[in-house]
């Protein structure tokens, strides 16, 4: 069992939004250990394949291990079947890994999202292996604050352009109120063309337009 100090490394905010032309996934970068900021440039958004994204809340080590595992499985799937893994299959695989690890559990809460032949998909996956599809979702200690913005701003005809703005506003809301969330934004749009990160210059322009400092 992981010790108490490790269990404290759980504060974060991650977001997934299904839009009509793609999926937006976003995280902030802060990692905490209790009340201490342990790292200010932590990766919480991973590309599992060029059309599948993973966001992680929980222990950094567990998150990195799962990301490596899922990347390998997605590559094997593509090689064996000569086609990419569907988002639902990736979510089911992840849920099975977590549910099969009861004696040494992964201390994580995950979002699996992306775009395949059936369109955009998002799944929230808990540490026990529960997998729930949704149109938008937030995880981590800052999620209650992010949900306030998501509930108010989400609509079924949302484009990824507006979805990125909504993700920025939702992360900002969490970072203002949750001390475990902060130190920047990582945002990606996943659509028919694949994995499209929002570059720092574009992010700065969007924040300025939204009057976010």
Alpha-carbon distance of 211 to 43, in angstroms, equals 26
Q: Mark whether 12 is an active-site residue.
A: yes
With tokens 């005809």, the residue in question is 157
Asked if 109 contacts 97 with a C-beta cutoff of 8 angstroms, the reply is no
Would you give the end-to-end CA distance of the chain in angstroms?
A: 41
- Tokens standing for residue 39: 């790292």
Q: Where are the alpha helices (DSSP H) in the chain?
A: 4-7, 60-81, 87-99, 143-153, 160-177, 200-209
Structure tokens at 97: 């890994």
Query: Among residues 12, 13, 27, 32, which one is catalytic?
Result: 12
73 near 20, Cβ under 8 Å?
no
Active site residues: 12
């Amino acid at each position: 069992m992981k010790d108490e100090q490790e269990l404290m490394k759980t504060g974060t905010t991650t977001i997934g939004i299904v839009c009509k032309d793609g999926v937006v996934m976003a995280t902030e970068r802060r990692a905490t250990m209790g009340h201490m900021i342990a790292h200010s440039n932590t990766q919480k958004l991973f590309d599992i394949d060029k059309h599948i994204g993973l966001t992680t809340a929980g222990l950094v080590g567990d998150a990195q291990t799962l990301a490596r595992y899922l990347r390998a499985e997605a590559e094997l799937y593509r090689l064996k079947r000569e086609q990419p893994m569907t988002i639902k299959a990736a979510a089911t695989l992840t849920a099975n890994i977590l549910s099969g690890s009861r004696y040494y559990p992964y201390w994580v809460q995950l979002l699996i999202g992306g775009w395949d032949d059936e369109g955009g998909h998002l799944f929230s996956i808990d540490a026990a292996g529960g997998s729930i599809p949704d149109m938008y979702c937030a995880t981590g200690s800052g999620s209650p604050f992010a949900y306030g913005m998501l509930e108010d701003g989400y609509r079924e005809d949302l484009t990824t352009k507006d979805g990125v703005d909504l993700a920025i506003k939702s992360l900002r809301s969490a970072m203002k109120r949750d001390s475990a969330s902060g130190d920047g934004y990582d945002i990606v749009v996943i659509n028919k063309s694949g994995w499209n990160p929002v570059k720092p210059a574009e992010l700065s322009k969007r924040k300025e337009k939204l009057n976010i400092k």
